[in-house]
A and B are shown apart, each in its own frame.
Chain A
Amino acid sequence: MRSSGLSLDQAPPEDIPFRFFLTAPVFGLLAGSLILYRGVIVFSSSWHFETIALTHLITLGWIMMIMMGAFYQLVPVLAGGQVPWIALSRAVHFFMIIGILALAGGLIQISQLLFPVAISALLLAFTVFLTQLLTALFRVKANRPVVVAMRISLISLALAVSLGVLEIGAITGLWPPLIERSIVKNLHVTLALSGGIGGLIVGVGFHVIPMFYLSSPFPEKRAVWILRAGMFSLAAVSVMLLNSAGSALLFTAMLPGVTASIIFTLTVWQMLLKRKRKVVDATLRFWQIGLLAFPLSLLCLAAHLFWPDERLTFAFGLLFLMGFAATITNGMLYKIVPFLIWFHRFSTLVGKVKVPLLKDILPAKRTSGQLLQAALAMLTLLPGALLQIDWLVRAGAIFWLISSGWLFLNLIFAFRQKPVTND
């Protein structure tokens, strides 16, 4: 016997997840502005400093902000863990903003002095965040798939951040490089994307798909297998990278993880198709776009092992970060934010006054318009980057800017929903 229900009585104050969620589209606007300003140059080399700045505006500014808000919210409600020193989460948010802005500013060469600021602020933010969440998750006795997935995600993030800091310090001459830069870069990307981002999305997906889309539960044995295969590949690929293994060995190490990702995608797709309530809304489409982009991104990554063409790196980056991670986190905001607003502000009023439903807190016409802009951004940025067409890349940037701004306004609209008082 088990339950996939959410327990909200241990949830954090509403301002904690909301401040992280609301910051994500602001960094989306900064990322879009950088693409619009520099055009196709940001898709010319993955070593280009402006490309690294853009990548981190999306990974740290958008994806990580939503992930942190989600961790603070979901660890108590999905895993039953109590996050300690919860008030410090506001400081984590503040130092994340300082750290990301300083990192991006340093990388686009505003001033070298910004790098030590970035390192200090990001290290502080991640140290507090990881200590809070790992403490909460390792106190939880249950080894349910969602708990295991969250632990994998946090440990991967801890390693990825350490490698990222090593790399910035080496680039800026703060300390000598300990390992070859390409090894650090590949390990950093593997741990951050596959373990950190992939781990959380997969783990949360096990629970939120049945809950929000009225589907059958995710088969538990399959979830366990997916996590084991993913962990095996993550460890094997890391060891291979450290030993500068060849493409064939790396591909073999990746295979169980890629297979697990495809099985996850097919299972969730099937669950969504067989959902009990056949309502089609923007969040469903965000999930479907994300689920299509996920295996395609992995295909590009595998192809890159044998054909080391930089365009495949960009195809992987765009499909994984914008197509999969940013898209699914965007869709989940549209489910989680209205639900939290309803729970915190309206649930105690049921039966006393007429309370709104989720569709009243965030109407469908607002979210479907943004979905279209997000999809157009992907459809223009991808060919623009692959074929190196500057105007197409800049058009994609405009769609991405509109999409980010629209998401921001939608979240503000939802946050303004409060019970009407008759005083």
Chain B
Amino acid sequence: MIPDSVPGGHSIITVDCRELEPPEPMVVVLEAVDKLQKTEVLKMLHRQVPRPLFPLLEERGMLTHLDKFEDGSIELWIWQEVQ
């Protein structure tokens, strides 16, 4: 289910970080972000909020939407701002 704030019509690339130890989730996501096309949106699955990731995404000019769940796990949607 794509949240309303995430642009529609984009192809979704899912990166599952739930079984990666720190700092691998950040490395995997940032590497995927650097290859992300304007027509793609990245969906990060993680067991907790990746707080240190946000300033690095901001630095790259990415937009995000975060969904948190009762067990502490999250889905983080990342996409490029379309000019």
Given A1-B70, A217-B72, A7 contacting B27 (CB threshold 8 A): no
What is the bound-complex CA distance between A9 and B30, given in angstroms?
Answer: 18
Determine if A358 is an interface residue (Cβ-Cβ < 8 Å). Answer: yes
How extensive is the interface on chain B, given as a class? 20 to 34
Q: Which residues of B contact A1 (CB under 8 A)?
A: 68-70, 72
Q: Which residues of B contact A128 (CB under 8 A)?
A: none
Which of A85-93, A306-314, A342-350 forms part of the interface with chain B?
Answer: A342-350
Check if B51 sits within 8 Å of A8, measured CB to CB. yes
Residue A3 interfacial (CB < 8 Å): yes
Q: A347 near B23 (CB under 8 angstroms)?
A: yes
Asked whether B41 is an interface residue with its Cβ less than 8 Å from the other chain, the reply is no
B21 is an interface residue with CB less than 8 A from chain A = yes
Which of A94-102, A157-165, A207-215, A232-240 is found at the contact surface with chain B?
A207-215
The interface residues of chain A lying within 8 Å CB-to-CB of B60 are 351
Nearest residue (CB) in A for B70 is A1
A264 to B17 alpha-carbon distance, docked (Å): 28
- Complex alpha-carbon distance, A5 and B47, angstroms: 9
Interface string of A161-173 (1 = CB under 8 A from B): 0000000000000
Q: How far is the CB of B1 from chain A (nearest CB, A)?
A: 18
The answer on a CB contact under 8 Å between B26 and A5 is no
**Would you call B22 an interface residue if the criterion is a C-beta within 8 Å of the partner chain's C-beta atoms?**
yes
Chain B contacts for A214, CB-based, 8 A = 18-19, 21, 47
Which of A4, A9, A358 is in CB contact (< 8 Å) with B48? Answer: A4
Known contacts being A214-B47, A217-B72, A351-B30, is A6 close to B52, with CB within 8 Å? yes
The residue from B18, B21, B33, B71 contacting A351, defined by CB atoms under 8 A apart: B33
User: What is the distance, in angstroms, from B44's C-beta to the closest C-beta of chain A?
Assistant: 13
Mark each residue of chain B from 37 to 54: 1 if its CB lies under 8 Å from any CB of chain A, else 0: 000000000011111100
Decide if B31 is an interface residue (CB 8 Å cutoff).
yes
Count of chain A to chain B residue pairs whose CB atoms are closer than 8 Å in the complex = 74
Residues of A within 8 A of B68 (CB): 1, 3
Shortest distance between the CB of B26 and any CB in chain A (Å): 7
| A9 with B55: CB separation less than 8 A | yes
The interface size bin for chain A is 20 to 34
Closest residue of chain B to A6, judged by CB?
B51
| Chain B positions within 8 Å of A4 at CB level | 48, 72
Contact yes or no, B52 A7, CB < 8 A? yes
- CB-based contact A5/B48 at 8 Å: yes
**How does the 8 Å CB contact mask read for A209-235 relative to B, with 1 for contact and 0 for none?**
011111001000000000000000000
Complex contact A3–B72 (CB within 8 A): yes
Q: Give residues 1-56 of A contacting B (CB, 8 Å).
A: 1-9
Per-residue 0/1 for B56-83: is the Cβ within 8 Å of any A Cβ (1 yes, 0 no)? 1001100000001111101000000000
Q: Chain B nearest CB: distance from A23 CB in Å? A: 25
User: Are the CB atoms of B52 and A350 closer together than 8 Å?
Assistant: no
B47: A residues at CB distance < 8 A: 210, 214
Known: A212-B21, A277-B21, A343-B23. A8 touches B52 (CB 8 A): yes
Of residues 1 through 43 on chain B, the ones whose CB sits less than 8 Å from some CB of chain A are 18-24, 26-27, 30-31, 33-34
B22 lies within 8 A of A211 (CB): yes
Nearest B-chain residue to A361, judged by Cβ: B23
* Pairwise interchain contact B23-A357, C-beta atoms closer than 8 A: yes
Indicate which residue in A8, A217, A277, A355 contacts B71 across the interface (CB closer than 8 Å). A217
- Give B residues with C-beta under 8 Å from A: 18-24, 26-27, 30-31, 33-34, 47-52, 55-56, 59-60, 68-72, 74
User: What would be 22 A-B contacts, judged by CB atoms less than 8 Å apart?
Assistant: A1-B72, A3-B68, A4-B48, A5-B51, A7-B52, A9-B52, A210-B47, A210-B48, A211-B48, A212-B21, A212-B22, A214-B18, A276-B19, A277-B19, A279-B21, A347-B23, A348-B59, A350-B31, A351-B30, A351-B31, A351-B34, A357-B23
Interface positions of A (Cβ within 8 A of B): 1-9, 210-214, 217, 276-277, 279, 339, 342-343, 347-348, 350-351, 355, 357-358
- Sort A-B residue pairs by CB-CB distance and give the 10 closest, nearest first: A351-B34, A3-B49, A350-B30, A7-B51, A5-B49, A5-B48, A5-B51, A8-B52, A1-B68, A351-B30
Given contacts A4-B72, A348-B56, 10 further A-B contacts (CB under 8 A): A5-B50, A5-B51, A7-B51, A210-B48, A211-B22, A213-B21, A347-B56, A350-B56, A357-B23, A358-B22
